[in-house]
């Protein structure tokens, strides 16, 4: 976990040609002579009109062979989260033995994707040639859910981490960056292969409540029966068994967790895909959820609040560190939901500071997203209220 394999910095000022040149050169020098393999850059909307010039300055003066990223209405750098973002964040990574390849994709390609071979043919990267992907997507002009489904067909169980860009929400304008080019649609994906793999943490911000159950009657996104009983009744009884304090916390914060790998003997954090409880009808006993569950699937109700989100991230970071053993972590990229941060935790820097505390020090860059991407089990999903932490790790 040597921080000198990656460095990150926040530029808090407006565009300044000479200042940015010196700043990029200084950041490059902080790598101590190691070659730069990859640069990740996240620009605030203030930089939209100067994005092309900015990317060129950073590429040349930080000597970056591959530069990718996107816009962010809030930015992340090392242990800090800049929620009233100005300026930009740049991270440089030296990744020994990595084979990196970046590709751009568009909505037109998503609509054409059908065969399992489609994306490997488009990207020139076969599943056997990559260890995982890091991706940044414009949410307004690309159907990320459809893209994710077809990408999984081609590449799962290889992990995909990343997020949907944020920018000027009122104008539905974001930017996606690849080397010197600026795009206002589509996405970019970086294949990480060779001697470096992608690992990480997908913290969906919930704590399980009650017991696990089996879904016994399901129709589309409607759950009629859980364990052969009306679904609404099971939910009501689960909440009634909570302490008065936990009932208060659960009010308005209830979700459903769906197990994605039924072959485990027991289920814990990270085994559930968390989705919204859209509504329930006590008369019919039906629950409507923001997913398409299936009969026979294991589920557990979940509660989301600041304490649950904090506990979830901490436990998953500890587990990730343990699972990596002594492997070198070269650096990270953190994509955090724009509903987290001070809005959720009541204090700044929560996710970034906790990541550094548990697995740092490491160069860490990222942004606050309109949706987060990451694996649960052997597939990748689009999430909300999630912290998606990608780690570049020695293979």
Q: What is the mean pLDDT of each run of 10 residues along the chain (395 residues)?
A: 81 96 98 96 96 98 98 97 91 98 97 93 97 97 96 97 93 94 98 97 93 94 96 94 89 90 75 92 94 93 93 95 93 96 95 96 96 95 96 96
162 Cβ contact partners less than 8 Å away, ≥ 6 residues apart: 133, 134, 135, 136, 137, 189, 333, 335, 372, 373, 374, 388, 390
Give pLDDT, residue 234: 95
Give pLDDT, residue 3: 53
CB 198 within 8 A of CB 190: no
Closest CA to 164 of 383, 362, 390: 383
pTM for this predicted structure:
0.93
Q: How far is CA 325 from CA 97, 231, 318, 394, in A?
A: 20, 42, 11, 11
Give pLDDT, residue 1: 42
Give pLDDT, residue 260: 85
115 Cβ contact partners less than 8 Å away, ≥ 6 residues apart: none
- Sign of CA pseudo-dihedral 343, 72, 199, 118: positive
**What burial letters (b/e) apply to 366-386, b meaning 16+ CB within 10 Å?**
bbbbbbbbbbbbebbbbbbbb
């Amino acid at each position: 976990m040597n921080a000198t394999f990656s460095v990150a910095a926040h530029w808090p000022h407006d565009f300044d040609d000479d200042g940015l040149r010196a700043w990029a050169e200084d950041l490059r020098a902080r790598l101590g002579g190691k070659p730069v393999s990859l640069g990740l850059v996240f620009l605030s909307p203030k930089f939209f009109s100067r994005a092309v010039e900015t990317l060129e300055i950073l590429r040349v003066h930080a000597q970056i062979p591959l530069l990718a990223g996107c816009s962010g209405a809030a930015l992340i750098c090392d242990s800090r989260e800049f929620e009233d973002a100005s300026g930009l964040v740049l991270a440089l990574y030296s990744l020994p033995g990595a084979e990196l390849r970046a590709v751009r994709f568009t909505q037109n390609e998503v609509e054409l994707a059908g065969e399992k071979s489609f994306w490997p043919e488009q990207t020139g990267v076969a599943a056997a040639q990559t260890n995982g992907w890091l991706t940044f997507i414009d949410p307004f002009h690309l159907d990320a859910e459809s893209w994710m489904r077809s990408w999984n067909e081609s590449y799962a169980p290889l992990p995909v981490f990343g997020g949907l860009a944020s920018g000027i929400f009122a104008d539905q304008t974001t930017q996606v960056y690849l080397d010197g080019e600026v795009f206002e649609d589509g996405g970019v994906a970086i294949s990480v292969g060779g001697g470096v793999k992608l690992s990480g943490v997908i913290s969906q911000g919930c704590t399980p409540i009650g017991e696990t159950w089996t879904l016994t009657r399901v129709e589309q996104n409607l759950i009629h029966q859980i364990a052969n009983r009306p679904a609404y009744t099971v939910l009501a009884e689960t909440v009634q068994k909570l302490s008065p304090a936990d009932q208060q916390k659960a009010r308005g914060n209830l979700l459903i967790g769906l197990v994605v790998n039924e072959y485990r003997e027991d289920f814990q954090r990270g085994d559930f895909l968390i989705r919204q409880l859209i509504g329930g009808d006590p008369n019919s006993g039906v629950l409507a959820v923001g997913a398409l569950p299936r009969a026979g699937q294991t589920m557990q109700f979940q509660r989301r609040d600041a304490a649950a989100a904090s506990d979830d991230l901490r436990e998953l970071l500890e587990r990730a560190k343990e699972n990596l053993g002594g492997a070198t972590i070269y650096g990270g990229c953190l994509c955090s939901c724009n509903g987290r941060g001070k809005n959720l935790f009541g204090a700044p820097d929560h996710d970034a500071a906790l990541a550094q505390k548990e697995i740092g020090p490491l160069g860490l860059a990222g942004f606050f997203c309109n949706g987060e991407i990451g694996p649960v089990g052997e597939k990748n999903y689009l999430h909300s209220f999630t912290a998606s932490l990608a780690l570049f790790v020695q293979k």
